[in-house]
């Protein structure tokens, strides 16, 4: 029976399904001297290199957008509760 490869590249996108060691996982996310994106230690595609300052900007922007989204969800819940407290007015002709 032919054994399928557990790592390689498909259409230019890397993949790796070999069981990684803890040291390999940690070193994969911290690679000084490399670019912002590095190959994932397990799975398909790329991940952020936390040794690169651009990655921290991306994480900061994502955090701000998440915080803003949660704030707008709370504001919309307040607006919905105000609508629920509306009073019906009946006018006789």
Q: What is the pLDDT of residues 14-47, one digit of tens each?
A: 999 988 889 888 889 999 999 999 999 899 999 9
pLDDT at res. 51: 94
The 3-state secondary structure of the chain reads CCCCCCEEEECCEEEECCCCCHHHHHHHHCCCCCCCEEECCCEECEEECCCCHHHHHHHHHHHHHHHHHHHHHHHHHHHHHHHHCCCCCCCCC
Residue 87 is predicted with a pLDDT of 73
pTM of the model: 0.65
Dump pLDDT digits (tens) for 73-82: 877 776 666 5
Domains of the chain by residue range? 1-51, 53-83
Rounded to an integer, the average pLDDT of 1-10 is 84
């Amino acid at each position: 029976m032919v054994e399928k490869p557990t790592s390689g590249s498909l259409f230019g996108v890397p993949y790796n399904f070999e069981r990684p060691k803890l040291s390999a996982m940690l070193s994969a996310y911290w690679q000084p001297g490399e670019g912002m994106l590095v190959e994932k230690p397990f799975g398909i595609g790329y991940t952020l290199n936390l040794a690169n300052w651009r990655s921290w900007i991306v994480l900061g922007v994502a955090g701000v957008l998440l915080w803003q989204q949660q704030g707008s969800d709370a504001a919309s819940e307040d607006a919905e509760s105000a609508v629920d407290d509306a009073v019906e007015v009946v006018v006789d002709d």
